[in-house]
Structure 1
Amino acid sequence: MSDAFETWITGQDPKVNSGSGDQYNFTLLKDLGLKARKSGPRLIAEDDLGHELEGFVYPEGLGYARRLLQARHTVVLTGPPGAGKRTAALKLLHELRGSGGVCRELLDQTTEDSAQPALDPVDVDQHDRLLLDLSDGDEIWQSRVLDELSGFRHQVLEHDAYLVVVLPVAGTSHRLRNDARSLTAELHRPSGTAVFRARLRVRDVLASDEEMRAGELTDYLEAARATEHVVRLADLIELAKRRQPNQDFAAWLTSALASVADHSEKVADVVAESRTASRRALLLALAYFHGTRADAVHSATRALLRMVGQREEEGVTPLEHRDLKEQLRTADATLDARRHVSFVTDGYDVAVREHFWDFLPHLRPRLRDWVDAGIELPMLSKEEQAAVAERLAEQYVRTSKSDELFRLVEQWTSARRRGLRQATAILRLGLDHPAHRRAVWAAIYNWSRRENLGKELTVILVGVCSEVLAERHPDRALVRLHHLARHEREAAPGAATSALIALAHSENRLYRRLLQRLVTGLANDNWRAADTRLFLMLADPRLLIDTTRRSRPLLSDTVVREQVTAGWGYVLAHGQVSFAETRLRDWLDTALDQHRHRDALLGTMVDACDGRAGPLGGLLLLTLRWSTDGTGTLPERRRIANLLRRRIDTAQGIAFAPSRG
């Protein structure tokens, strides 16, 4: 039920054709700073899971949670922030990998224009291992999930599946119904030192007991509020080891601690001491173009000085200017072997950006114009351009109201193409920000329903929906992509249509959801033409009978069969046989090639006509024309035409007299 296609048009080698007209293979993702997803949004790969759990330290209470899960097939994990509840949930599910089912995460399925339950019983398949993480979800969805949890558990038990629920914080278990409260297990955060040692061991970093007792390290581990902070420090030590393999643990620790330190006071002092425009321009260029080539930082510095009407060094000839290496040294920055420039201390660039943004707010409009222009520097790679755009977007998302963000998105996409990366970053970061998430959902929804939406904004919305929103909220992404696809030209379906069809084919549930939306749209005069086009693209017979990526074909699913039949019924009933001829011929060709599925394919086409003479006659005429094509297969084509004729006669109540010998 949850098997996933790998039909991602947005992948590295997109070859899926989504219909006639120009093919829009979504190659702009990399330019916009987005990455194409490689699989369905909910499947959790076992090898990735095993790697993620390396060095896992068992928190107190996990043993009791394991016993609950094994005995009652459901456990609800509670505990304070930083207790590692999600990782513990994945560990429990990974331990059950011999049960035969797949490991999947249940995501928020609620949408603006459907009454879909928060927990859909259809989501449960035999022996599934299910993760339901409420720790970072929308509060409305959380409440609905907790209300529906008891009923959903019946499906889990019926299918011999397992479910682990992660509650947001300790003390929320009172929101559970009485019959579910007995399923709770409270976890307590494991020792920071134990987690740190385990992570170092996995990273192949050795530290003596004496080195582990270093005062700064002990202070950090005791003060760390979450397990992930401890893990990050260990990972930074491993990074320092790779950068400086000849140093010792003490040096790696010093570098790592500097990376996680709060640099705000130090930056404030440096800015206060840097009274010249050239020095401050260099700090800003290093902060926004951090990790890029030296000539990019140099060009960005000069551009910023020109923008604020300042010369580089008054009264100094070009030959007398301080060289870049000297300037970098005074700014505590360094040049690596590839001639890429960065601050010596990790995280320092973030503090510089935030200081100038927060404490010199009058510079914000000029910083925006400067970054907009600087992104186009020819020496920057696509990845570097996206990184610079994101650094500017971070400041807006961090300090602005939601409606201000949306005005920026519209300005960046309407005025000039060079704002696409910045607008994309605003929406992507906004979707991850608790204060903006619901507003961004609403904004994308409203934009997607707008007719004559600009091409640039459409491209951004398609990318954000298919590659960001679909990761955690695939149903919301599907609704928005459907609206966007409805507005595309019939003769040349583009990015939205391609992304919509690909997302629908990533999961059976999403395929059913889109089919239902299309069947509803076919009955609406406003959307009939657009949804007919989309239905014909979705109703690919080869994908409907495919069993290479799922245990049984989609067409054997009762709900899918009924929806496909209803869709064909609307198309044929409205005299669109000629319009749908290409797809109908696909169905006949597939019936010709696939003997196993011949009855299902022919039966669906005839059932769709619902006994009506007009659609049945049109279907028969098309089939008779088809049967005369292809000289090498004429006998088999005529056989299929006769089978279809007999089905049509039966549908019309015409009885056959038994043949006489």
Structure 2
Amino acid sequence: MNEHISTRVDSPHAPVHAGSGDLYVTMGAQLQDPDRPTFRRLADDHLGWLRKVLVAPAGMGAARHMLTDTGTVILDGPPGSGRTSVSRVLLREYDQGTGVFHELLPDEQDELSLSNPALVGTGDQLLLDLSAATAVQWAAARADLSALRKAVHEQHAHLVVVMPYGHPLDPDLQHYRINIDPPDGLEVFRRHLRFHGVAYEPDPTVTAFLAESRPMREIADFADLVRRAREAAADEGFAQWCTTARKARDDRRAETARLVAELREGPQRALLITVAMLHGAHADVIHRAAQLLLHTLKFLPDEQSVLEGKDLAERLAEIPAGTGPDGHVRFTELDYDAAVRAHFWDHMPDLRQPMGTWVVHTVESDDPNVTRALRNSLVARLAEQYLRTGRGERLASLAEDWSTTTTTRTTSQARLEAAVHALTCGLNDPAHGRNFRHWIYLWCAQRQLRGEFAQVLVQVCADVIAASHPDQALFRLYHLARREQGTTRALQALCDLVATSSRLRRRLLDRLARSPFSAAELRIFLSACDPVPLTAPHDNGSTLIEENGARESLTIGWRAVLNDLSHAEWHPYAERWLHSAAELGHRGDPLLDLLVAAADRCGGHRGTAFAELYASARAAERSAPHSAARATATTDLLLQKISTAQDLGPSAAPLSTASPGGTAP
């Protein structure tokens, strides 16, 4: 029920280039993980969770009917009413597998204007969240909404607009406006408790908390605090859990400052920081991580026998924390760890740089108690401090540094996963997400990438950005794919993304057609022009290859392929087109027409291109997966089309790749 909803990844697996020419980067193999979640599953999982915890506010039913009847709804309502959550749940209900979820950001890099029909694909679910827009931004969006609604209607898509509260709406748009009123706070609280498996009981602490008008996100956070209080003290009962949760909301800055002032010894403070950063970890992890922190800070403790020093239980009692029956360490006060983290970050700035070093060394631990979930929570807690204090750029640089191999260290899988998670935290932060998307664009498109950072960017683009901003992911992966060398990971991620949407494939083909084709871009083109999705009918019965714009992009691309690559390089892709044409029968004619049209534009290479196409058709007959007769008929039809293009009669002799001068005999 959060007004700021973002995709969460729980288990994810620089100098500026100022010269000319392409930059090539080599990516390692450490991040290969068949179990890591895909961007589509991440988005589905998050929206599924949101649907379970959402209490339908007044107006949601009317919004659902409006979206069904017109394909568009404009949500209005006060901040904290759950408007954004409602918008995402509504769009999930119209996900029929024919389009993608797309959060529109018209003023960001590589985002089309709202009036551009290419913004909308068949069956897409579009969210335009302008709840925090300025008057100028809202006025600009209103001017384009009519064109956007027209494209949505034509593509059988669905659009939800969240308008800024209290701003005007044009008369012709008033019909689509639905007011969202906050749902009952107690029902929201109970729904979240039920999701956490906590039974609700009437309690004065809850009554007092809900007596004030609260945003939905605060109620959800309070329910989560109650859940955590139960986990810390299951035997205390609901009333005490609520009291503990309410106390955890208090400002603890003064209390934390007093404790730190009392703990004057380095090992004491190191243990305090360690428990705060690894809260809930096993005692063995806490002990070793505290020692590692002292080593990172170059602190030299007095030599003392193991038997003479304080044991861990005594040291934990000083901070105050303790080890539970499960062997895991926690503070005795709920959410005390957050207050400790904030205190040291704010009041000991010299700790910030070594903390990054300590975190990445900790995630590389081979201790079996250092699980992936623990590594992710440690990175997230560090990222929280950078983002809370407005130092997002330093967090981004830290992720890059973690991905870089030096003469004294290699880049482990744990380091790369930590870098992915750090960038994910930045991308999902409402205040910093835009900056992180911009920095990632600069890395992908312009900067020389060091070490294994390119593969980190591939995963972040494919599994995080693509979940809600597929166009931005598309072009970032495109830049990575055209620059990669020695691997095809970015290219594969790019192909996986365009496979989810004809609109994205259309945008990629258009981008390629407007670029001077390098060898890398020709490889991207050949991978992106798979004949199966190009000839798959949309809901209206048309196909992508029959669209004028896509057809022109494909013709330009194939012309560059026939002109610039050897026959051996492009033959496997042409063979796939010829096999598809044979399988489709007369519906495969557009594939043959396009190949012939591309060869016809090859200028002085025209005759050779025709001859090589004919040779590919003959070779395709021998490898045809279906009827040999169909393959032969396809070759004959191709020859007829070539003859027509050359103004030759139907009885023209077969073409030969050995024809002198590169012309047909």
| TM-score computed with the length of structure 1 as normaliser | 0.80
Q: Residues 107-146 of structure 1: CA distance to partner in whole angstroms, max 9, x if unpaired?
A: 2365877683235435557787654333368999766533
Aligned length: 619
**Match in the other structure for 2:272:** 283
Give the equivalent residue in structure 2 for 1:5: none
Tell me how far 1:618 sits from its aligned partner: 1.9
Deviation at 1:485, TM superposition (A): 1.2
Whether 2:196 is the aligned partner of 1:196: answer no
Equivalence map 1:99-498=2 (5 Å): 105-108=101-104, 110=106, 116-118=112-114, 120-122=116-118, 130-135=126-131, 144-157=140-153, 163-167=159-163, 169-171=164-166, 173-174=167-168, 176-181=169-174, 183-200=176-193, 205-208=198-201, 211-212=202-203, 214=204, 216-223=205-212, 225-238=214-227, 241=230, 247-308=236-297, 310=299, 312=301, 314=302, 316-379=304-367, 380-401=370-391, 403-414=393-404, 415=406, 417=411, 420=416, 423-450=419-446, 452-489=448-485, 492-498=486-492
Q: Which residue of 2 aligns with 1:87?
A: 85
Aligned amino acid, residue 150 of structure 2: H
Could you list the per-position Cα deviations for residues 598-655 of structure 1 after superposition, in whole angstroms to 9, with x for gaps in the alignment? Answer: 4343333223223743321221123234435679965554333222212222232334
Q: Deviations over 1:567-607 (max 9, x none)?
A: 21221244643321121122233344554754343333223
1:28 to 2:18 alignment = no
Instruction: Return the offset for 1:178.
Output: 4.0
Which amino acid is 2:57 matched to? P
For the residue of structure 2 that corresponds to 1:75, the secondary structure is strand
What residue is the counterpart of 2:580 in the other structure? 590
Q: What stretches of structure 2 of length at least 5 have no aligned partner? A: 1-10, 14-25, 653-665
1:447–1:453 Cα contact (<8 Å) kept = yes
SS in 1 for 2:568: coil
Which ranges of structure 1 fall in alignment gaps of 5 or more residues?
1-9, 13-22
Matches of 2:105 and 2:639, distance apart in 1: 43
3-state DSSP of counterpart to 1:76: strand
| Contact 1:334 1:343 survives alignment (8 Å) | yes
Single out whichever of 55-64 and 613-622 deviates more from structure 2.
55-64
Q: Following TM superposition, by how much is the alpha carbon of 1:531 offset from its aligned partner in structure 2, in angstroms? A: 0.9
Report how far residue 148 of structure 1 moved.
Answer: 0.9
Shift of 1:469: 2.0
- 2:505 is aligned with 1:511: yes
**CA 1:578–1:338 in 2, change beyond 3 Å: closer, same or farther?**
same
1:500 to 491, 494, 503: 494
Shift in alpha-carbon separation, 1:256–1:119, aligned structure 2, 3 A: farther
Greater displacement, 222-231 / 641-650: 222-231
- 464-473 vs 178-187, greater mean Cα deviation: 178-187
Distance 2:12 2:388 in 1: 31
Q: RMSD value over aligned CA atoms? A: 4.1
Q: Distance in 2 between matches of 1:241 and 1:550?
A: 55
Q: Structure 1's 449 and 87: CA in aligned 2 closer, same or farther, altered over 3 A?
A: closer
Contact 1:111/1:475 (8 A) holds in 2: no
Residue 348 of structure 1: how far off its partner (Å): 2.2
User: For residue 19 of structure 2, what is the aligned residue in structure 1?
Assistant: none
Alpha-carbon distance in 1 for matches of 2:583, 2:98: 32
- Measured in 2, the distance between the counterparts of 1:207 and 1:451 equals 54
Q: Report if the CA contact (8 A) 2:495-2:528 is conserved.
A: yes
The residue aligned with 1:649 is: 643
Q: Distance in 2 between matches of 1:651 and 1:129?
A: 43
Are the counterparts in 1 of residues 296 and 354 from structure 2 also a CA contact under 8 Å?
yes
Q: Distance in 1 between matches of 2:462 and 2:625?
A: 43
Percentage of matched positions with identical amino acids: 32
Whole-angstrom CA distance in 2 between matches of 1:400 and 1:131: 27
Residues 1:578 and 1:284: Cα distance change in structure 2 (over 3 Å): same
Contact 1:445–1:480 under 8 Å retained in 2: yes
Which AA in structure 2 matches 1:277?
A: G
Structure 1 residue 289 displacement after superposition: 2.3
1:536 aligns with 2:530: no
Query: 1:134 and 1:373 mapped to 2: Cα distance?
Result: 41
- 2:101/2:124 contact within 8 Å kept: no
1:565 paired with 2:561, answer: no
Q: Distance in 2 between matches of 1:218 and 1:207?
A: 12
Q: Deviations over 1:79-132 (max 9, x none)?
A: 2221111233356567x76x9897964423658776832354355577876543
> What is the CA–CA distance in structure 1 between the aligned matches of 2:537 and 2:232, rounded to whole Å?
48
Change (3 A) 1:29 1:343: farther
The one-letter code of the counterpart of 1:585 is E
For the Cα contact (< 8 Å) 1:39–1:506, is it kept in 2?
A: no
**1:320-351, Cα deviation, whole Å (9 max, x unpaired):** 22222232333333334553323344432222
1:563 partner amino acid = S
Cα distance in structure 1, aligned partners of 2:537 and 2:445:
35
Distance across 2 between alignment mates of 1:368 and 1:657: 75
| Counterpart secondary structure, 1:609 | helix
**Aligned partner of residue 577 in structure 2, secondary structure:** helix
Q: Is the 8 A contact 1:470 1:477 kept in 2?
A: yes
